[in-house]
Chains A and B, each alone.
Chain A
Amino acid sequence: MWKFLLPFAAFVALVVLFAFGLNPSRDIHALPSPLIGKPAPAFTLTDVLDPSRPVSNAALKGQVYVLNVWGTWCAACREEHEALLAIAQQHVVPMIGLVYMDDRDKAKLWLEQLGNPYQAVAFDTDGRTAIDWGVYGAPETFLVDGQGRVIYKFISPMTEQIWQRDFLPRIAAARRGGA
């Protein structure tokens, strides 16, 4: 009995392992953020468009907001820009930009030429804010709830489908829970 059962059990275990490990729809490079459920790291930076204007996420406390990390060097950020503009048009939540590893003038030009979906765009001069948020590639989009906790992180270009599928339900839930 064992002679047959044991190899069969091993076979089933391997099938389960491979079904998970070799699943082509799983992005092996995507990492779960340890920040989920934790307080959003505080930052106080200056606005890309106006260096004299401070941008701080403390000012957003009590609101659900989106933080989108981008840079002009990032092709995938260019790719998602139209989607961000369309999403901003819906005025669901404030969208804050965080420019990362970039040049202020280039970022400014990008917004002037392509349109600005952001309520404010923080300029991360030395990459420290990005480290606090665990950013390792752009674009990255975080969702923060009314208590200032990170509730979701999406790594990859944003699309309107992803916005509807992943973000809108979470925003609605955060508002229901945190009102």
Chain B
Amino acid sequence: MKTPPRRLSACIGAFALALLGALGALACPAAVQAVDANGQLQDQGLQARFENITKELRCLVCQNESIADSNVELASDLRRQVREMLVAGKSDDAIFDFMTDRYGEFVRFSPPLEPKTLFIWGAPFVMLLLGGFIIYRVARQRSRMPLDDESATGP
């Protein structure tokens, strides 16, 4: 993996920026997540969609962060991309498609429901049914067994 030094430098960079921000020289991107130099989207509805979409997209540099939370440059480039597409009137699906076409399904935190992801989505229900079946079997078996005190009360 080649990114850790970058991640570290991104953190140092964010810290340095935060310091500068405190000095009033620059806005601090760490404090105002997902709202960088361009500021918020004017339209409230678009801004809400922007926040939902960026929370749902994975930052591939720091794979457990969303692009809404990440300070890495790639995340801010992707936020800009999302913002521009929203302003251009693109649908949420079009934006997700744009991202998965380039970065693969992994870029989305929750996989879409489609034939090849059926196993992932279905597994919890299968487990539940299986568990229920096992409990049912065990319970039935035990209900057929003589009670402990019955067998214990001998002659």
Give the interface size bracket for B toward A: 20 to 34
Kindly state whether residue A12 has any CB partner on chain B within 8 Å: no
- Which applies to chain B's interface (DSSP): helix, strand, loop or mixed? helix
Contact flags A21-33 to B (C-beta < 8 A → 1, else 0): 0000001010111
Contact call B60/A31, Cβ cutoff below 8 A: yes
Chain B residues numbered 72-90 whose CB sits less than 8 Å from any CB in chain A: 73-74, 77-78, 81
Contact flags B100-111 to A (C-beta < 8 A → 1, else 0): 111111100000
Q: Which residues of B come within 8 Å of A, CB atoms? A: 1-3, 5-6, 9, 60-61, 63, 73-74, 77-78, 81, 100-106
Contacts of B106 in A (CB 8 A): 31
Give the interface size bracket for A toward B: 20 to 34
Contacts of A34 in B (CB 8 A): 100-105
A73-B6 contact, Cβ under 8 Å, with A27-B1, A101-B73, A127-B77? yes
* B43 CB to nearest A CB, Å: 23
Chain A residues numbered 66-94 whose CB sits less than 8 Å from any CB in chain B: 73-76
Contact call B9/A73, Cβ cutoff below 8 A: yes
Chain A residues numbered 135-179 whose CB sits less than 8 Å from any CB in chain B: 136-139, 155-157
How far is A136 from B74 in the complex, measured between Cα atoms in Å? 7
The 5 A-B pairs at the shortest CB distance, nearest first, are namely A136-B60, A76-B2, A134-B102, A127-B77, A34-B104
